[in-house]
Structure 1
Amino acid sequence: MVLCAIVGLATGSSWTASGTVGVALMGVGQGLGINPAISAGMVISGAYMGDKWSPLSDSTNVAAATAETPLYEHVRSMMTTTLPSFIIAMIL
Structure 2
Amino acid sequence: MGDLLEEFFKRPYIAAKVAEGKLPDTWREIVGDRAAEVTTELRLENHILHVRIQSSVLRSELFYQREALREEINRRSGVRLVNAVIIR
TM-score, with length taken from structure 2: 0.31
TM-score, with length taken from structure 1: 0.30
